[in-house]
Amino acid sequence: MRDIVILGSTGSIGVQALEVIAANPTKFRVVGLSAGANNLERLTEQVKKFAVPIVGTTGEGSSLRQALPGVEVIDGPDSSRQIAALSCDVVLNGITGSIGLGPTLAALEVGNTVALANKETLVAGGDLVMAHGRDRIIPVDSEHSALFQAMFAGKGNDVEKLILTASGGPFRTREDLSTVSLADALNHPTWSMGPVVTINSATLVNKGLEIIEAHYLFGIPYSKIEAVIHPQSVVHSMVEFKDGSTVAQASPPNMKGPIAYAIAYPDRVPHATNPIDWKSSHTWTFEPIDTERFPAVELAKRCGALGGAVAAMYNAANEVAVSAFMKEQIQFTAIVDIIEQTVTRLGGQAISVVRDLDDVSAIENDARRVAHEALGKK
Ligand code: MG
């Protein structure tokens, strides 16, 4: 029996993780949940269904206390860090955004293993997280789960290249991206995800963040990490070894596969997801990214290579721009423009060593301020 804590339990990853757990009641037990304030009803149902003893919300906890007698309720901004530090086998971090960094660090500090779905943890604070070593972080992002699995085919110093696949999002073949509407951008062709990740997939900012994530997770330089468009989203990523051999991991697109792998690692959960059906015919295609229409990936590599603080700026500026796009205040193509303007203005003066969470917050605040100024000019 594995004791699991889930952070961001009411979001897309959290809900799917609970489905995996519900299907495997003899393997997993939920010992703590936390979520933001916007879906306390769902959180309450989850606590009841899984008989969870401790629950946290970043909002106000009185309604939870009323609805859940006998359950310990922790509330306020620090609650997810406290839940992350509970004694357990695995903390699944399914929070969206760089607010997931503090809870990841809190889990690692007490010796917990983290199944990491919050990519911004590594983008904003990769150096801080990796100071705890690589052993206790199991990736949940489908690409990184694929790389993690493919890595077992060789030794670290035999790796020539990491190749992340990208679906290309809904606009892979659309010429004019300036007229993209919010509804267009929220309609992803292969993956069902939360709204921010879906927009990030449409701009390919998501792939940029994932390259930075891969750099930290596997300790591979940016010059050896590439992304390729694979619209079917069945090959989740590949590792190329020195001898010219490439090892790929493939399965139909369904996050339950990587979630189950991460919370059960090193075991595999039987029937976590449906396998590829080899009785029907398939075509898998691969094509390079059009860097003119999708500048976000190269920009992320440049930011990542400049050092820790610049990646955090890339992410913070994107969070501001995506939120403006979701309020329909800016054009789709302005999202990456705003990131570029922000890192161009601040990148040169970025601190080179990120020492703690306060440094990350200071960098993010600067980036948000400059991104808001850039928004004002749009
Ligand atoms: Mg991914």
Give distance in angstroms: CA of 329 to centre of ligand 1.
27
Write down the residue that tokens 């670290």 correspond to.
Answer: 156
Write down the residue that tokens 């359950």 correspond to.
Answer: 71
pLDDT digits (tens, 9 = 90+) for 133-154: 889 999 999 999 999 999 999 9
Domains in the chain with CATH codes:
2-139 (3.40.50.720), 307-378 (1.10.1740.10)
Give distance in angstroms: CA of 90 to centre of ligand 1.
20
What whole-number percentage of the chain has pLDDT above 90? 88
pLDDT digits (tens, 9 = 90+) for 236-269: 999 999 999 999 999 999 999 999 999 999 999 9
pLDDT digits (tens, 9 = 90+) for 51-96: 999 999 999 999 999 999 999 999 999 999 999 999 999 999 999 8
Give distance in angstroms: CA of 274 to centre of ligand 1.
19
Strand order in the sheet with 159-166: 225-229, 159-166, 235-241, 246-250
Q: 196-226 burial, b if ≥16 CB within 10 A, otherwise e?
A: bbbbbbbbbbbbbbbbbbbbbbbebebeebb
Give distance in angstroms: CA of 209 to centre of ligand 1.
9
Provide the pLDDT for residue 351: 64
pLDDT-based confidence at residue 350 (cuts at 50, 70, 90):
low
Burial classification of residue 184, based on how many CB atoms lie within 10 Å of its CB (0-12 exposed, 13-18 middle, 19 or more buried)? middle
Give distance in angstroms: CA of 141 to centre of ligand 1.
5
CA distance 20 to 14: 10
CA distance 259 to 248: 18
Provide the pLDDT for residue 302: 94
pLDDT at 191 over 80: no
Answer positive or negative: Cα dihedral of 108, 351, 206, 97: positive
pLDDT at 42 over 90: yes
pLDDT digits (tens, 9 = 90+) for 28-38: 999 999 999 99
Give distance in angstroms: CA of 210 to centre of ligand 1.
7
DSSP code string of 67-133: HSTTSEEEESTTHHHHHHTSS-SEEEE---SGGGHHHHHHHHHTT-EEEE--THHHHHHHHHHHTT-
Q: Is the peptide bond before 252 cis (omega within 30 degrees of 0)?
A: no
CB 128 within 8 A of CB 357: yes
Give distance in angstroms: CA of 236 to centre of ligand 1.
8
Three-state DSSP at 47 gives: helix
Give distance in angstroms: CA of 19 to centre of ligand 1.
19
Provide the pLDDT for residue 194: 77
Give distance in angstroms: CA of 14 to centre of ligand 1.
15
Give distance in angstroms: CA of 191 to centre of ligand 1.
9
For the entire predicted model, the pTM comes to 0.94
Give distance in angstroms: CA of 280 to centre of ligand 1.
26
pLDDT digits (tens, 9 = 90+) for 89-117: 999 999 988 899 999 999 999 999 999 99
Residue 7 C-alpha from the chain's centroid: 13
Provide the pLDDT for residue 353: 77
Which residues on adjacent β-strands are paired with residue 91?
Answer: 5, 114
Give distance in angstroms: CA of 122 to centre of ligand 1.
14
CA distance 221 to 211: 10
Question: Residue 211 contacts by C-beta under 8 Å, 6 or more apart in sequence?
Answer: 164, 222, 225, 227, 297, 300, 301, 304
Give distance in angstroms: CA of 208 to centre of ligand 1.
10
Give distance in angstroms: CA of 8 to centre of ligand 1.
17
The tokens for 104 are: 């990841």
Give distance in angstroms: CA of 142 to centre of ligand 1.
5
Give distance in angstroms: CA of 72 to centre of ligand 1.
34
Q: How far is CA 40 from CA 16, 123, 270, in A?
A: 17, 29, 32
pLDDT digits (tens, 9 = 90+) for 201-225: 999 999 999 999 999 999 999 999 9
Q: How far is CA 114 from CA 68, 102, 368, in A?
A: 27, 12, 28
The tokens for 341 are: 């303007």
**Which residues, chain by chain, have CB under 5 Å from ion ligand 1?**
141-143
Give distance in angstroms: CA of 349 to centre of ligand 1.
30
The tokens for 269 are: 């959960």
* Top-confidence residue, 308 or 359: 359
pLDDT digits (tens, 9 = 90+) for 153-189: 999 899 999 999 999 988 999 999 999 999 999 987 7
Please work out, in degrees rounded to the nearest 5, the angle formed at the alpha carbon of residue 305 by the alpha carbons of 301 and 311.
70
pLDDT at 312 over 80: yes
Question: Residue 74 contacts by C-beta under 8 Å, 6 or more apart in sequence?
Answer: 34, 54, 55, 56, 57, 61, 82, 83
What whole-number percentage of the chain has pLDDT above 70? 98
CB 143 within 8 A of CB 165: yes
Give distance in angstroms: CA of 104 to centre of ligand 1.
18
